[in-house]
Amino acid sequence: MVVTNAPKLYDKLKVLRVHGSQPKYYHKIIGSNFRLDAIQTAALLVKLAYLDGWTAGRQANGLPIWLARM
């Protein structure tokens, strides 16, 4: 589910939902099918345990850069 109040983003996401087709059989943009297979899912489930640490590391690395720009 995606929630937005930006009309352009809403329209683009709505088109991507049907693989880029708008109207039917006319592909305004190239869409794709992003389903995961079992091996990809298993690998991502293992990596999920590390996500909070990776995010904290990126935030810690980015903070000095962000502060320097202020």
Query: Per residue in 7-58, pLDDT tens?
Result: 999 888 888 777 777 777 777 777 777 788 899 999 999 999 999 999 999 8
Q: What is the pTM of this model?
A: 0.44
Residues in a beta bridge with 21: 27
Residue closest to 33 by CA, chosen among 45, 42, 47, 20:
20
Distance CA 25, CA 4 (A): 26
Distance CA 38, CA 45 (A): 10
Cα dihedral 37→38→44→45 (10° resolution) = 150
DSSP 21: B
